[in-house]
Structure 1
Amino acid sequence: MKRLLATSALLGALATTAFAADLKEMTDEERALFRAEVRSYLLENPEVIMQAVEVLQQREQQQQVQADVDLVADNAAAIFDDGYSWQGGNLNGDIVLVEFLDYRCGYCKKAHSEVAELLETDGNIKMIVKEFPILGEASVLASRFAIAVKQISGGDDYKTVSDALMSFNGDITLASLRRLGTTFGLDMTAIEAHMDSDDVTAEIAKTRALADTLAITGTPTFVLKDEMLRGYLPLQQMQAIVADKRG
């Protein structure tokens, strides 16, 4: 027990600058004895290593959360008021939920109905959608179509098309998009002509630049009030986070 306590004290002292300096002053024999003692302790108590790893992971997670909070604060205008992203839900809600999405992302599709349920059951959340096509040319084509619909036909038609694309399971091609738009009575001649316009290209480019700034590399990524939620989260977990944000 005495050796265990002594070794524990030595291990704790390793974290201090003063001890690091003392370690350099040890003779080769003293350093070898110390290393042997540490090795023996760790072999007898391997759970200490796992505990240290857990503490390190917790610290890294806390640091990442704080870094994300700072990123959101520094880029609040571009995230919450860019002037072009679709907004829905309760526009006067006390909580704002932003989603970066790709229509070919399986987890985005999985999250879609749960986000809709969150908005409906809560009733006090504002939703902002950011087109972030990162899964190939078909994703880009889908986003160009959705954005063109928004810019030509307005937010209501965009929401209809966006929901349809999120539940669409076939190949995304110009022909399939044309059929989809025709189903909803959209002016596909005007929309197709606008899909490759500078306005559509600029919107995608701005969102990509923002995603780069926020270190977003996958979808879905959410910004919920003041923090980022990277990846899919079940409805119950999102509800718990919303409740926590309201305090």
Structure 2
Amino acid sequence: MLNRLILPALMAAALPAAALDINSMTQEERAVFGAEVRSYLMENPQVIMEAVQALENQQAQAQAQADLTLVTDHAKAIFDDGFSYVGGNPDGDITIVEFMDYQCGYCKRAYGELEKLFAADGNVRFIIKEFPILGDQSLLASRYVIAAKQLEGAEAYKPLHDALMTFNGDITLRALRRLADTYGLDSTAIEARMDDDAVTQEISQTRALAQQLRVTGTPTFVVQDEMLRGYLPHDQLRAIIEDKRKL
């Protein structure tokens, strides 16, 4: 793989344009050229890492541009879908969107970092996208909290969400009922709503959006116009937000 990536760059730097067609070389010329390239790389091994780094930088830039286009094209569904929970400061100058799953260990770690961020910065708008991709327990939890939100609003959703983000046991109906009782919620009504088409539609729309954005894992964040895949610590989130505010 490295040879296919690095050899053309070395050829371009070392040979005139007319000599770059390796297919036009004789067998002897190819052997000489190969020996020269090998000798150069043995004497200058750092060139390999420089070429790999340059390639990675190009790929990262291309990915960032592709993500920017995706976010722009799907901005309405990302930032204003009409059903996802909106917290933090709804009028904040920076918006963070998170695609999350209640069984995702990195989502649970990110939860603590996000809470720390919101406590320190009161000008961040936060949107939660329920994206259950890690099995039946994930789906059960999402259906339950979405049903609670549809029945009793954000005031019911957020405590359940927070509790599940710090919950380490199996997610069962029994466990969810205990959580509902803790917050004075009517679990019977919530359970009756869980399989409603309106709940299914929310999950389906978020999954369709994730597919359009090429989101395949959790947590995945959208911060203003940028997509960030994977866990981010508090300090890194703060730095990204401050950079966005300078734009």
Question: Fold-level match, TM-score > 0.5?
Answer: yes
Name the structure 1 match of 2:224.
225
> TM-score with structure 1 length normalisation?
0.92
The residue aligned with 1:123 is 122
Alpha-carbon deviation of 1:74?
A: 0.7
Q: Secondary structure at the match of 1:181?
A: helix
Number of equivalences: 240
Deviation, structure 1 residue 82: 0.4
Equivalent position amino acid for 2:199 in 1: V
Match of 1:155 in 2: 154
Residue 89 of structure 2 corresponds to residue 78 of structure 1: no
Q: Specify the SS of the correspondent of 1:164.
A: helix
Alpha-carbon distance in structure 2 between the residues aligned to 1:156 and 1:16:
69
Stretches of structure 1 lacking an aligned partner (at least 5 in a row): 1-7
TM-score by length of 2: 0.92
1:201 lines up with 2:197 in the alignment? no
2:18 and 2:230 map into 1 onto residues whose CA distance is: 42
For residues 152 and 23 of structure 1, what CA distance do their matches in structure 2 show?
69
Question: 2:90: which partner in 1?
Answer: 91
Q: Which residue of 2 aligns with 1:52?
A: 51
- Contact 2:11/2:20 (<8 A) preserved: no
The alpha-carbon deviation at position 146 of structure 1 amounts to 0.6
Residue matched to 2:30: 31
Partner of 2:125, secondary structure, is strand
- Matching residue of 2:4: none
Which position in structure 2 is the counterpart of 1:180?
179
Whether the 8 Å CA contact 2:12–2:20 is kept in 1: the answer is no
Per-residue deviation, residues 175-230 of structure 1 (Å, max 9, x unmatched): 11111111111111111100111111110011011111111111111100001110
Amino acid of the residue matched to residue 153 of structure 2?
A: G
Per the TM alignment, residue 20 of structure 1 is displaced from its structure 2 partner at its CA by 6.2
Following superposition, the deviation at residue 238 of structure 1 comes to: 0.5
Residue identity matched to 1:94: D
* Shift in Å, 1:119: 1.6
Residue type of the partner of 2:167?
A: F
1:198–1:36 CA distance, 2 compared to 1 (3 A):
same
Percent identity over the alignment is: 61
CA distance in 2, matches of 1:207, 1:17: 53
Flag structure 2 segments of 5+ consecutive residues without an equivalent. 1-6
| Cα gap change, 1:20 to 1:66, in 2 (>3 Å) | farther
Letter in 2 for 1:78: A
